[in-house]
Structure 1
Amino acid sequence: MKKFKYIIAPIVFATFFVSCSEDFLDEKPQVTVELNQGITNEKTLEIAIAGLHNSMQSTNSYGALIPTLNELLADNSFVSLRNSNRFAGTRQVDLSYYVRQQADFANLWGSLYSIIANANFVLSYEGQIQDDINTTNTPESLFAQAHAVRAMAFYDLVTHFSEVSGNGNQDLGVPLPLKVDVNAKLPRATVTQVYNQVLADLQAAEGKILNQDKRLINNVAVDILFSRYYLAVKNYGMADTYAQKVLSNNTFSTIATTTSAPTMFTTANEGSNPETIFRLEFNDKDLPSSNDAIIATWYSGGTYRQNFATRAFYDKLSTADVRRNTWFRLTGVGSPSLAAFPDTPKPVDVAKYTAIGTDVILMRKSEAVFNQLEALYYTNPTSALAKLNTYVSTYRAPGYVFAGTGQALLQEILFQKDVELFLEGFRYRDLKRNNLGFTNPQTGVALDPTKYQFKAFPVPQSEMLSNPNIAQYPGY
């Protein structure tokens, strides 16, 4: 978001609008909408919503960067000593990666605000579009999707660039643009104001989305977002309620079993993955660059093959855990072998995304399990412990038993969540939300709640230069 004019939705739509045929998600974009026409009917609104979802594919946010930063800036993964220089700064124990000039933070900021600008453009037509009786959709359903996507982007901005709700500096949320304005130079809203907007958008979307296509945001995805929101604002009763709502929905997705879980991330099974709630669609006609896709740095068969799980993380998995040696492997597929890497201990390959065309999962049912477990930890830890043992022993690691209490229970819940949802965008913000510091056993990087780098990412330098009304987080 160097300036708002660079991310205004009509400009982005000229790139991302797609065909309004029924299989529009399976084809490369073919149709654009002239800027002077805008959204004039339900069909062009449907095209705009497809474009909005397409913008979420950006590898600068949901397509790669959010999952990457949430692992590399935490304790269970690292960049190898043999690297392409991408993300190499995350290894530095002096925390020199956390600077306002960091391109990764600028890319994340700009990508999320681009998505918001697209959503704002769509929502500027809310109430103006007639229902087309010849379509299976409705304007209400389509606008609800735009509200949900905007809520998700604002949530991810405030999660990364501001302090935890209720802790520390609550004045420095993030800018809160709600309309298309090329001249806007907004100050930071408060953290409460941003979360209030997230809630308002989720409430505007709740129960109104007609599609059940996992390649589009849907009602169950909105319920997942509600559970994330309520965890963030520490309303654990409501977080539990919405997580249970997702878990009770057996018509849309089910939890994968010990038999089906190991192959959930294969290209052959991505369309039939029973747990998927919302995924980014990638196919042979719509692919990220092989240099930028999530597999480029995260898989031993990728272009740069440099980001790995730590051996300390892997060694905590029981030999009965179906995720061990399927999603996490001691042997890779490229050359040189993992044994030849200069790291000590040797790296552990992450084999969730092994082909450039593999869809990136944004939400799946097991997340609801862990959202509920975290909520219960704060309200009913006995129930949290029982449900943790049931989930892991039934679906992932037969024979698993955990008996810890207190903070050890919380740490185990979040550890099992990272085993399950590794590289799906959670670890850094889970630790941050629960004020849990760490030392990465591979790199020695240490973060804790006393350090400003733990509390919030810096506003990018480009934004500081172009927007005189924005304040930097203290320390940067």
Structure 2
Amino acid sequence: MKRTIKKLYPFAIAIALTATACKKEYLETSPTSSIDANEVFTTTDGAMVALNGTIRSMYSSLTNHGNFGQKSYDLVLDLMGEDMVVHKQGYGWLNTDYNYSAPSNANPDQRPDRTWFYYYRIISNANRIIDGLDEAIGSEEDKASIRGQALALRAHSYFYLVNFFGHNSLSGAGVPLYTEPTSEGNPRSSVQEVYNLIFSDLSEAETLLEGKSRIHRSHVDLAVAQGIHARAALQIGNYDAALEYATKAIESSGLSLYTAQQHTAAGFNTLSAPEWLWGLEVIVDQATIFASFYSHIDNREATGGYAALGTQKKITKALYDRIPEGDVRRNLFNGSQNPDLPIYSQVKFQLRQPGNWASDYLLMRLAEMYLIKAEAEARLGNAAQATETLQTLVSTRYPAYNAGAFSGNALLEEILLQRKIELWGEGFGLLDVKRLGNGLNRPTGDGNHGGGDLNSDANAANFAPGELVLPANTNRWLFAIPQDEINANGALTAADQNPQ
């Protein structure tokens, strides 16, 4: 980590802002490069400036058009999963993630290297903010809010790092841990040790954020910290904690599930949408245009992004066919042949206005918490509660739904099906494949992975993903430790490299 820490350590200053977020309705994110570290952390206003810049980095572009902050990694997780199909090769962006050739590439500027850099940059910034707060002039309330948010961002970053670079087994090798600014590299910690830090950070963050209001929905509040806690607990099968924190997040958020009328594309591109616990507001003059989530996900020709140029993202026919008529979520996909939009193309994620790239990035919403709660209840043997939770969620999408028709293992399978449908495209594909322990099983045949595209002539096929079936113990979804990191970090050797 020595190379990375040295590159990252000054970054909290490089993204220091010209004003604090409270002065406008949106986050002020115009970077400057001339503010000294000591000056930034003289006051809590300066620390907030650094926090806002760190949040901005979560939708910034890095090196090429396939790297655009958190949503690029969410998209990778879905492309490496079971339910997202790529229509054609197009310009090729992200296809190496889809066909599993990217994870093993340890060279500079490849997917593992950029993933490592992105998350450790946030961690380094968080550590710098936490370290500088004690001496800053400002109220204790402001210090608590800033520290709580920095801890939650650090936990969030370690969660994704350990899932990209480690197996789901707690005894396996995780990633190096850093809790303070340093230029010295650390060895790999175990997956268990990484999760210990994640939950410790989140518990402290929750205490600090209790009773605190946030000035912008891009900031972390109590409900968001609880939501991250629930997400991480579910990933390692701690269902008691998953249930506890999903329930807390629902209650703390004060939000309500979408009505059927609200469950449209407009509910997935705007920070103020009723279900959003957390998201990133993309300001028009800071939009990364072609190097953006919407460039790679919005399939409409009018958008003019990479998706519209051939790599349209589609739901599998296998999953689409399991969404009943009358379920509003079926309308988030094109279910008919169309010369301008391939059949099964997603229309869930769209720019608010084609040609204007200022549409927001979704990081967490209320439906996820209901699904975590329902799954945890079912796994803990609380069938009646799980049925009630599932009914509450799905009936808002499909009024004729009857969760009471399922019991036993069928109830759990139904919850997992509803999770696939509800959270399609939101970044849970590979996370769920890994935690469920069934291996990768991509549906094949017409309308599915590598099968006929059902939209062109009889010989036209969807882009072939290469890997269709992988065992649960595969190493193929492990990202390689960047070679530059192994070369520069004295605490790592070639033996620490992930197997492929």
Post-superposition offset of 1:381: 5.2
For the 8 Å contact 2:268–2:348, the answer to whether it is kept is no
Quick one: structure 1 residues 47 and 28, their matched pair in 2 at CA, closer, same or farther if it must change by over 3 Å? closer
Post-superposition offset of 1:359: 0.9
Partner of 1:129: 136
Give the AA of the match of 2:475: Y
1:439 aligned to 438, 441, 454, which one? 441
Counterpart CA distance in 2 for 1:423 and 1:148 is 23
Quick one: structure 1 residues 62 and 413, their matched pair in 2 at CA, closer, same or farther if it must change by over 3 Å? farther
Partner of 1:196: 196
Counterpart CA distance in 2 for 1:331 and 1:19 is 49
Counterpart CA distance in 2 for 1:193 and 1:224 is 20
Post-superposition offset of 1:75: 0.7
Alignment RMSD (CA, Å): 2.6
Deviates more, 1:234-243 or 1:216-225: 234-243
- Counterparts of residues 15-34 of structure 1 (less than 5 Å): 15-20=15-20, 22-23=23-24, 25-29=26-30, 33-34=35-36
1:41 corresponds to 2:43:
yes
Partner of 1:429: 431
- Counterparts of residues 11-410 of structure 1 (less than 5 Å): 11-20=11-20, 22-23=23-24, 25-29=26-30, 33-59=35-61, 60=67, 62-92=69-99, 95-101=100-106, 103-132=110-139, 138-166=142-170, 170-182=171-183, 184-209=184-209, 210-212=212-214, 213-249=216-252, 251=254, 253-265=255-267, 270-288=270-288, 290-301=289-300, 302=303, 303-305=305-307, 306=311, 307-325=313-331, 327-330=332-335, 337-339=340-342, 346-355=343-352, 356-380=357-381, 382-383=383-384, 385-387=386-388, 389-401=390-402, 403-405=405-407, 408-410=410-412
For the 8 Å contact 1:392–1:400, the answer to whether it is kept is no
Give the AA of the match of 1:154: Y
Counterpart CA distance in 1 for 2:129 and 2:391 is 43
Q: What count of residue pairs does the alignment treat as equivalent?
A: 453
Counterpart CA distance in 2 for 1:13 and 1:129 is 15
For the 8 Å contact 2:440–2:472, the answer to whether it is kept is no
Quick one: structure 1 residues 227 and 11, their matched pair in 2 at CA, closer, same or farther if it must change by over 3 Å? closer
Give the TM-score taking structure 1 as reference length: 0.87
1:458 aligned to 480, 494, 497, which one? 480
Counterpart CA distance in 2 for 1:96 and 1:63 is 21
Partner of 1:4: 4
Counterpart CA distance in 1 for 2:247 and 2:382 is 16
Post-superposition offset of 1:337: 2.1
For the 8 Å contact 1:185–1:468, the answer to whether it is kept is yes
SS at match of 2:168: coil
Quick one: structure 1 residues 89 and 408, their matched pair in 2 at CA, closer, same or farther if it must change by over 3 Å? farther
List alignment gaps of at least 5 residues for structure 2: 62-66, 444-448, 451-466
Post-superposition offset of 1:149: 0.7
Counterpart CA distance in 2 for 1:227 and 1:208 is 18
Post-superposition offset of 1:371: 1.2
Counterpart CA distance in 1 for 2:259 and 2:25 is 32
| Dislocated runs of 4+, deviation >4 Å | 404-408
SS at match of 1:361: strand
Quick one: structure 1 residues 266 and 185, their matched pair in 2 at CA, closer, same or farther if it must change by over 3 Å? closer
Partner of 2:446: none
2:472 aligned to 449, 458, 474, which one? 449
Post-superposition offset of 1:247: 2.0
For the 8 Å contact 1:61–1:111, the answer to whether it is kept is no
Counterpart CA distance in 2 for 1:61 and 1:411 is 34
Counterpart CA distance in 2 for 1:98 and 1:44 is 38
Quick one: structure 1 residues 2 and 66, their matched pair in 2 at CA, closer, same or farther if it must change by over 3 Å? farther
Post-superposition offset of 1:468: 4.5
Q: C-alpha deviations, 1:407-443, integer Å up to 9, x for none?
A: 5543432331232222222121022112122322213
Q: C-alpha deviations, 1:233-286, integer Å up to 9, x for none?
A: 4321121111111222363x211111212254365xx24311111111102132
Deviates more, 1:212-221 or 1:440-449: 440-449
Counterpart CA distance in 1 for 2:200 and 2:90 is 43
SS at match of 1:114: helix
Q: C-alpha deviations, 1:98-128, integer Å up to 9, x for none?
A: 3133712221111000000110111112322
Give the AA of the match of 1:8: L
List alignment gaps of at least 5 residues for structure 1: 340-345
Give the TM-score taking structure 2 as reference length: 0.83
SS at match of 1:54: helix
Post-superposition offset of 1:399: 1.4
Counterpart CA distance in 1 for 2:16 and 2:420 is 33
Deviates more, 1:140-149 or 1:234-243: 234-243
